[in-house]
Amino acid sequence: MAAGKQQYVVLGLGSFGSSLAKRLTWHGCRVIGVDFDSRKVESHRDLIYAPVEGDATSAETLEQLLTPAVDSVFIATGNNIESSILTALHSIEHGAKRVIAKGITEDHAKILHKIGVERVVFPDQEYGMEVADQAVFPNLLDTLNFDPNYGVFELPVGPSFVGQNLESFTAKLRWTFGISILAVKDPARDEVKVLPPSDFIILEHHVLLVIGTHKDMIRVRSAFFDSVSF
């Protein structure tokens, strides 16, 4: 699925939830943001796809929002542990494919994991951007300190590139998409070839370590890897 078609529900538009929702939108995703505070909802009116005023802990609200098109649910509500747990439980019961929740205490995190939450984070506003990046690009290894728009990614080899030498493939990535190859990982041999030579042959099981902007990676995925999540 292309990143531009991904859809997320963010429950809670406080500091963390707002940062998360805006970053997901920046990635071209459709974001439904829910908060009971009408002022927060109104402040996101022109920033995200669908700001909704409502009770994020309500099973009825979640039942309406969690359609099959929703890829992930982010629980970014306040510091009420009971409400957070109920929201996670209702989200899972209503078919959420993936739930990521803000943790309040370590015990709270353990309970969330027990009921099926995939990931628990202990965030601040800056971390909201990082969580959003990792949701859109599960194989994002890191962002670069000199520019948060750039990242280092793992890129699986698509069938159309198997058997090509690295020179032709590198030229296509660099000149068409602005992506550069740093290394090639061979999981079968547990080896990493840093800056491999131009005559290096790409095999089906290879994984490329590349550097580029998030926007460039979206273009690459749309062009070649829509069937692959990376």
Q: What's the pLDDT score for residue 73?
A: 96
Residue 129's domain is classified under what CATH number?
Answer: 3.40.50.720
Q: Do both 106 and 182 map to the same domain?
A: no
- Average pLDDT on 142-152 reads 60
Q: What is the pTM of this model?
A: 0.60
pLDDT in tens, 189-223: 888 888 888 888 888 888 888 888 878 877 877 77
Is 166 found in the same domain as 108?
Answer: no
Domain range for 126 is 3-136
67 shares its domain with 149: no
184 part of a folded domain: yes
Phi/psi at 120 (5° precision): -120, 130
CA distance 79 to 222: 38
Instruction: Tell me whether residue 145 is exposed, middle or buried, using C-beta atoms within 10 angstroms of its C-beta: 0 to 12, 13 to 18, 19 or more.
Output: exposed
Crossing angle of the two packed helices 81-93 and 106-114, in degrees rounded to 10: 20
Q: What angle do CA 91, 42, 88 make, to 5 degrees?
A: 10
Say how far residue 215 (Cα) sits from the centre of its chain: 13
180 and 95, same domain (yes or no): no
How many separate domains does the chain show?
A: 2
Q: Give a yes or no: residue 230 inside a domain.
A: no
Number of alpha carbons in the 13 Å side-chain half-sphere of residue 189? 9
Q: Which has more pLDDT, 85 or 135?
A: 85
Does 150 share its domain with 185? yes
- Statement to judge: residues 129 and 161 lie in one domain: no
Residue 229 domain flag: no
